Structure 1
Amino acid sequence: MIKACVIGWPISHSRSPIIHGYWLQQHGISGSYTRQPVEPSSLEAFMSGLGNKGYAGCNVTIPHKEAVFNLVSRADDTTERLGAVNTVYIRDGQLLGTNTDGEGFINSLKQGAPELQLANTRTVVLGAGGASVAVVNAILEQGATEVVVANRTREKAEQLRARFGTRVVPIDWDRAPDHLGDCSLLVNTTSLGMRGQPELGIDLSRLGERTVVTDIVYTPLRTRLLEDAAARGNIVVEGLGMLLHQAVRGFSLWFGVTPEVTPELRELVVRDINPVPMT
């Protein structure tokens, strides 16, 4: 039986077992995918013994993505550039790390807004934290002319420019509405709007009518940002798609089958996010 897992601290919130469990069943694969709580002080020992525990690999979530980057061999240039790993697999006894967050983001956009073209266009990204790094890199790889990054601490936005070059344009947080008129895509990479967090509260009155709006937050499925944009007639892409699509390559690396993100899988995860109350 092929085994994989997701590690984090804490890890009980992860919905990855739902996703991979669905694919294992769908493809009739004898395998398992479980949550493994790993505290930071135990991380190095867990990773060095991953193969001995019988795992083909693992997903990595908060707070371990940067630490695992330093414990594995980087599998590709994109991962090297991002400085963070979310997927680990074993080849010839060697731990290899890669990052599928960016491709998950792009493939979610392609599914939710197939007419969107990022090449030779401008994007506005809200937030410059860890989640924004993969998103900004992915947008640049699609050929965007400019990625405007608004962050409350401007220094962090400046760090993205230093990492990725002059196509990244850092701005102060309160200037973001000034840049919405001619962008092809608006992305929220902050936790604002998530359940239990304050609302994002951005003024969309200058948002271009053809601008696609997306949010990496998926609890709730539609944040206030997405609701407000949809009410204006803009195409919106929910954050759940990124979670589903980023899982595809890891499953392929461990279990040897490339799965599909289907409406049935989405509905399965939606039911976990919004369980139907017992009557």
Structure 2
Amino acid sequence: MGYLFGLIGYPAKHSRSPWIHHHFLDQQHERGLYRIFETSPADLQSTLSSMKQLQVDGFNVTVPYKEDILQYVDTLDPYAEKVGAVNTVLYQDGEWIGYNTDGKGFVRSLLEAYPEVDLSSCKALCIGAGGASRGIYTALLEKNMTRVDIANRTPERANTIVALNDQHTPSLAISLEEAEKSLEQYDIIVQTTSVGMPPNDDQQIISLANVKKGAIVADIVYKPFETVFLEDAKQKGARVLHGHGMLIYQAALAYEIWTNTTIQADELLRKFEQQLKGDETC
């Protein structure tokens, strides 16, 4: 019969997740299908009901449902419960179990790209206060960083993420304007919103005029491969981290949860980078 995996989100048709997970299935010589369930907010409940009837073995959750999905899962993995957002759901014994692999996937991509970085001596800034930010913020806290702050258009929403901090790590919720003025104090800056994705790929969430030379600037948007945010970072002398690494590694962690196996993702990461760069030359 084979596995049935999927993705729920809106919009979601642009997602490369089917391509990624079909590669994982091929790598392990498994039969299966990964399909996209693009679902508007008005149809969320009915789509989820259909997915449960289909007994989808596992599915990913993307914007805008990483927090909304909490009310539909039967059980939460302790880490996902702490984060307060779910991007991976496992179907097991008739129940849905919610997990979060976003943050751990991001940290793995960061350390794979810059293995020399000692996170415990770094100060980080997360821009945005959505589900992805919650996962990344929590994962960075677990690395005992010197400081992790959250910047958002509405600091009140950022404060709900800062409330997750149980590591006694110094952390503040600040406005985007405050972040722009104080960028020079951060060693790692992570853009966690959808700003910079098509059709708004000419947009940039904040100015990087004050970024510290040599800082690592990351964008979780993976298409375009070189967002205007990362282009600006390079021009200011920062090092950059592209979004495709987080996508690949969080997907690998999700696949491992669904199949109880271990996946090798490094080769696929290289293929994905070549594909994304090729798209930009078309």
| TM-score of the aligned structures, taking structure 1 as reference length | 0.87
Measured against aligned partners, the alpha-carbon deviations of 1:166-199 in whole angstroms (never above 9, x if no partner) come to 7321223222244333322111123333343322
Change (3 A) 1:31 1:193: closer
Using the alignment, how far apart are the partners of 2:205 and 2:44 within structure 1? 34
Q: Secondary structure at the match of 2:91?
A: strand
Aligned to 1:190: 193
RMSD: 2.6
Indicate if the aligned counterparts of 2:224 and 2:280 stay in contact, CA closer than 8 A. Answer: no
- Answering whether residue 248 of structure 2 is matched by residue 235 of structure 1, we say no
Using the alignment, how far apart are the partners of 2:262 and 2:142 within structure 1? 23
Indicate if the aligned counterparts of 2:76 and 2:98 stay in contact, CA closer than 8 A. Answer: yes
Measured against aligned partners, the alpha-carbon deviations of 1:209-239 in whole angstroms (never above 9, x if no partner) come to 3421111122221122322333444321101
Indicate if the aligned counterparts of 2:3 and 2:33 stay in contact, CA closer than 8 A. Answer: yes
* Mean CA deviation greater in 40-49 or 79-88: 40-49
Aligned to 1:258: 262
Q: How many residues are treated as equivalent by the alignment? A: 277
Deviation at 1:272, TM superposition (A): 5.8
- Answering whether residue 272 of structure 2 is matched by residue 271 of structure 1, we say no
Summarize the alignment of residues 128-277 of structure 1 with structure 2, pairs less than 5 Å apart.
128-164=129-165, 167-197=170-200, 198-205=203-210, 207-268=211-272, 271=275, 274-275=278-279
Deviation at 1:35, TM superposition (A): 1.4
Aligned to 2:104: 103
Deviation at 1:42, TM superposition (A): 4.5
Change (3 A) 1:130 1:276: closer
Aligned to 1:25: 26
Using the alignment, how far apart are the partners of 1:55 and 1:271 within structure 2? 29
Deviation at 1:143, TM superposition (A): 0.9
Q: Secondary structure at the match of 2:29?
A: coil
Change (3 A) 1:65 1:204: same
Aligned to 1:80: 81
Deviation at 1:201, TM superposition (A): 4.4
Q: Secondary structure at the match of 1:6?
A: strand
**Sequence identity, in percent?**
35
Using the alignment, how far apart are the partners of 2:281 and 2:146 within structure 1? 47
Using the alignment, how far apart are the partners of 2:127 and 2:75 within structure 1? 28
Query: Counterpart of 1:194 in structure 2: which amino acid?
Result: M
Indicate if the aligned counterparts of 2:58 and 2:89 stay in contact, CA closer than 8 A. Answer: yes
Query: Counterpart of 1:17 in structure 2: which amino acid?
Result: P
Using the alignment, how far apart are the partners of 2:40 and 2:245 within structure 1? 28
Query: Counterpart of 1:247 in structure 2: which amino acid?
Result: A
Change (3 A) 1:145 1:74: farther
Indicate if the aligned counterparts of 2:224 and 2:276 stay in contact, CA closer than 8 A. Answer: no
| TM-score of the aligned structures, taking structure 2 as reference length | 0.86
Runs of 4+ in 1 over 6 A off after TM superposition: none
Change (3 A) 1:70 1:230: same
Query: Counterpart of 1:216 in structure 2: which amino acid?
Result: I
Indicate if the aligned counterparts of 1:245 and 1:261 stay in contact, CA closer than 8 A. Answer: yes
Deviation at 1:105, TM superposition (A): 0.8
Change (3 A) 1:95 1:203: closer
Indicate if the aligned counterparts of 1:160 and 1:168 stay in contact, CA closer than 8 A. Answer: no
Where does structure 1 lack aligned partners over 5 or more consecutive residues?
Answer: none
Indicate if the aligned counterparts of 2:5 and 2:33 stay in contact, CA closer than 8 A. Answer: yes
Query: Counterpart of 1:234 in structure 2: which amino acid?
Result: A
Change (3 A) 1:183 1:11: closer
* Mean CA deviation greater in 217-226 or 154-163: 154-163
Deviation at 1:103, TM superposition (A): 0.8
Where does structure 2 lack aligned partners over 5 or more consecutive residues?
Answer: none
